[in-house]
Structure 1
Amino acid sequence: MDYTWIVIIAVVAVIGIFLWSTYNGLVTLNVRVDEAWSDITVQLKRRADLIPNLIETVKGYATHEREVFENVTKARAETISPAVMADPAAAAVAEDGFHAAMKSLFAVAEAYPQLQANQNFLSLQQELTDTEDKVMAARRFYNGGVRELNTKIKQFPQTLFVRSLGFKERAFFEVVDAAAIQEPPTVKF
């Protein structure tokens, strides 16, 4: 009995199972990363939907702060633009601009004690804080998925063939200006 054919068939079967398993694992990770990015975009959209209400509430008290309102509106639009929603690197840049604009808006709000007591403003601020927490959680989930996917793509022997199957490393959703978030903004209400 010739065992050569049995060994060849066994080796081909092992290689086939390995390729099948690797491909399905990468597809799973890729879908997980896409899902996580979708979660981020949902939260960014939710936050963007809160901003016009927040601006209108503050406008009622601080009508002469037009530039601040325009900057917040512009930053809001940038965070939900299609180009930003499709690219984590662009989203990170837009997020930095958004956070800077929001700091300005809250600085204006600090100057108006009656605004600080406005229930609508306090409610919007709480919703915005809640949404920011959800964005951070979605970012952690996304970055974890990207880490797993990128690691699997870079590991040997997958690195030899996965790119030819259409898999590529994904970008992390990171803060561009890390110094800007070292100290949280102080908002006193």
Structure 2
Amino acid sequence: MAIGTLLFLGALAVVALYAVLIYNGLVGLKHNVAKAWANIDVLLKQRHDELPKLVEACRQYRQFEQQTLQAVIEARSRVQTAREAQDVGALGRAENSLRSGLGQLFAVAEAYPELKTNDNFMQLQQRITGLENAIADRRELYNEAVNINNVRVEQFPDAIVARAFSFEAKPLLEFSTAEKADVDLKQLFS
């Protein structure tokens, strides 16, 4: 065999090995995104299971605002639908509604001293608040995994392998600017 042929085969082997390394790296990133999503999904499911208990605790007080409870129930349903469909965009929008409804629910609950002293309500409120904080933490991890994935899928030479094997960019889990803004406490209590 000629030296030129050996060099060509050696170069071809190096390129193939490099492509395999890129492919394996992209597979790892794809699974990191899926794992991060699964972590969010577990927390959303836990919160989904807790919300009916909170609504029921509030319903025990006949005069409690039914409109606020209904808004939370509807938002919970939209979050569940988006979660099951793994529609990150719809989930972000549904989360905005749910967080807004929960904020109103907790603000309205301040006007009911009997409800505020109810141990069940207080435990549920603390549990849901803890889940909200955990979801925010997991959302940050998910978005970081998605960002790393998206950068690698677009970078050269990874983009060549990504296109060849249908690796694609994933959507970030974003909330609206209204969700990130400071809460107007005066408006909540008027």
Q: TM-score, with normalisation over the residues of structure 1?
A: 0.91
The residue matched to 1:111 in structure 2 has which SS? coil
Worse-superposed segment, 26-35 or 74-83: 74-83
Structure 2 unaligned blocks of 5 or more: none
User: Does 1:88 pair with 2:88?
Assistant: yes
In the TM superposition, residue 120 of structure 1 has moved relative to its aligned partner by 1.0
Structure 1 unaligned blocks of 5 or more: none
Give 1:179's aligned amino acid: A
Give 1:169's aligned amino acid: A
Instruction: State the partner residue of 1:9.
Output: 9
Instruction: State the partner residue of 2:148.
Output: 148
Q: Distance in 1 between matches of 2:124 and 2:32?
A: 31
Instruction: State the partner residue of 2:182.
Output: 183
Moved over 3 A (4+): 82-85, 184-188
Instruction: State the partner residue of 1:139.
Output: 139
Q: Distance in 2 between matches of 1:79 and 1:122?
A: 23
Cα RMSD between the aligned structures? 2.0
Instruction: State the partner residue of 1:19.
Output: 19
User: How many matched pairs?
Assistant: 187
The residue matched to 2:182 in structure 1 has which SS? coil
Give 2:180's aligned amino acid: I
Instruction: State the partner residue of 1:115.
Output: 115
Contact 2:58/2:115, CA 8 A, preserved across alignment: yes
- Cα 1:120–1:80, aligned 2, differ >3 Å: closer, same or farther? same
In the TM superposition, residue 63 of structure 1 has moved relative to its aligned partner by 3.4
Give 1:35's aligned amino acid: K
1:5-63 deviation per Cα after TM superposition (whole angstroms, max 9, x unaligned):
12101110111111100111101110110111111111111111111111111112253
Give 1:65's aligned amino acid: E
Q: Distance in 2 between matches of 1:85 and 1:103?
A: 26
Identity %: 32
Contact 2:82/2:88, CA 8 A, preserved across alignment: no
Q: TM-score, with normalisation over the residues of structure 2?
A: 0.90
Contact 2:146/2:172, CA 8 A, preserved across alignment: yes
Q: Distance in 1 between matches of 2:20 and 2:31?
A: 17
